[in-house]
Amino acid sequence: MSKEYQPVHGVWTSRWVFVLAAAGSAVGLGNIWKFPYIAGDYGGGAFVLVYLICIALVGIPIMIAEIGLGRHGGLSPIHTMSKLVRDNEVSRKWTGVGFLGALSGFLLLTFYSVVAGWALYYVWEMGSGALDKASPEEVKAAFDGLLASPWVLLGWHTLFMVLTMGVVAHGVEKGLERAVRFLMPSLLVILLILLGYAINSGGFTQGLEFMFTFDFSALGAEGILAAMGQAFFTLSLGLGAIMAYGAYMPRQITTPGGETKHVSIGSTALIIAVLDTAVAMIAGLAIFPVVFANGLEPSQGPGLIFVTLPLAFGQMPLGLFFGTLFFLLVSFAALSSSISLGEPLVAWLVENEWSRRAAATLIGGTAWFIGIGTVLSFNVWSDATLGGNTFFDILEFTVSNIMLPLGGLLIAIFAGWIMKEPRIRKELAMQKFGVYMVWRALVRVVAPLAVLAVFVHTLWDTFGG
């Protein structure tokens, strides 16, 4: 008979702390780095519209499912799925969903930390004035120089990993909660300051038109699938993070007036999705006007914030100050996400009677070590490829295009088809039956088919095209 594990981590002290934590997990490089350049690649407004539809039909239903599973189990994703398997009397193979999520988040952390280290580096670069009035050649040389130096990359990767696991090591209330209480409000304030700067940059009208002019000819089937994939990935679904955070979500809270209220998963997930989407929208409105004001091209791919924006900020009045703020914003967003990536496996070890500090040290140290492979992919190992792909390329593709969608697909299927209907309905406790039935239809049919379409298209495009 398998061991019965008990919750040992504590809970969020309020619903809004959970909202900040889950939004922090969702708001990351995907919003501020990836969303603007993908929107740029697919013409702006049409992509944004499809993205919003996908958030509503795919992202929110799966997020509700993942939070519901996490809160019902009350443990790390691995032990939560073990408990759900026992309670619902189904095949133990479903326990693998918990392992897959925790492993996906861990592997993502290994290279996420390296890219986040770039943002920390640019806080220093912009703040020191190194890119003041720099030419396009000088800005590109600075980024190329960063990638070419394994020791510099390793240093920033190390610093970011230490910051991440330092937070995780202090637990739910003293670590995760304190961090998100500071990081998320700070992130929103910085973002609004940058939006104000963009409004006065001289390119705001162009940025607004670019974001919200619907040019469906620039979208195409490829853009629709990209929007669907971005909507799924930006909410941190299938990583174990949302399930782990859901485990710390209380079922009831007591208001200052002494009234006991049920904590609704559905409305909470909706708020998280709105916050996450708002950050992506505002980030686009803060970035594109600066790009247009300097006569630069918005569809610059991944180089948009590490080459194009430093060039733009370096040429504008007060640009270095606001450029420093921008990369501080990116760093805060990355940190709020990375702590959620390390939490599932750390929580699992703590449930197996490890101390928090020892668990965080082991998981962080292992992730740091694997991350060295990503560091070397940009320089020393750049020629060591498999099918033209570096270590980083293979790892990023495997996690982002195989493990994450597979995890999200399995979560939707388990919540919609495998878990006993009275159990999931009681956990979600949606007051209106019609709303529950809409969610159930979306999580059973629409969301799985949409994720499967992206999954199959990506694999066919990679291996069959």
pLDDT digits (tens, 9 = 90+) for 283-309: 888 888 888 887 777 666 556 778 878
Q: Which residue has the higher pLDDT, 280 or 153?
A: 153
* Predicted pLDDT of residue 404: 86
Provide the greatest CA pair distance for the chain: 68
Q: Give the residue carrying structure tokens 């956990």.
A: 427
* 3-state SS class at 261: strand
Looking at the predicted structure, is the pLDDT value of residue 245 above 70?
yes
pLDDT tens readout for residues 174-222: 888 888 888 888 888 888 888 898 898 888 888 888 777 777 777 877 8
Number of H helices, E strands in the chain: 24, 2
**CA gap 78, 346 in Å, rounded:** 11
- pTM value is 0.90
- pLDDT at position 41: 73
Question: Highest-confidence range of 202-211, 239-248, 345-354, 450-459, by mean pLDDT?
Answer: 345-354
At residue 2, the pLDDT reads 54
Angle between helices 77-88 and 60-73 (to 10 degrees): 80
Average pLDDT over residues 128-150: 88
pLDDT for the residue 298? 67
With 90 as the cut, is the pLDDT of residue 17 above it? no
Do residues 153 and 380 make contact, with C-beta atoms less than 8 angstroms apart? no
Note whether 57 and 450 are within 8 A (CB): yes
Q: What pLDDT does residue 457 have?
A: 79
Residue 355: is its pLDDT beyond 60? yes
The reported pLDDT for the residue numbered 371 is 97
Does 441 have pLDDT greater than 60? yes
pLDDT at 277 over 90: no
Mean pLDDT of 361-381: 96
Q: Chain-wide mean pLDDT for the chain?
A: 86
Query: Which pLDDT does position 1 carry in this prediction?
Result: 40
* Adjacent-strand bridge partners of 389: 386
- pLDDT average, residue stretch 140-150: 92
Q: Which residues contact 207 (CB under 8 A, 6 or more apart)?
A: 198, 284, 285, 287, 288, 289, 291, 292
Q: How confident is the model at residue 113 (pLDDT cuts 50, 70, 90)?
A: very high
Distance CA 25, CA 43 (A): 27
**Average pLDDT for 225-248:** 83
Res 92: pLDDT: 93
Taking the C-alpha atoms of residue 158 and residue 398, their distance in angstroms, rounded to an integer, is 23
Element of type H or E holding 98: helix 96-128
Q: Is the pLDDT of residue 121 over 90?
A: yes
- What torsion do the CA atoms of 241, 3, 9, 30 make, to the nearest 10 degrees? -10
Helices (H), 31-76: 35-41, 45-54, 60-73
Q: What CATH code is assigned to 15-464?
A: 1.20.1740
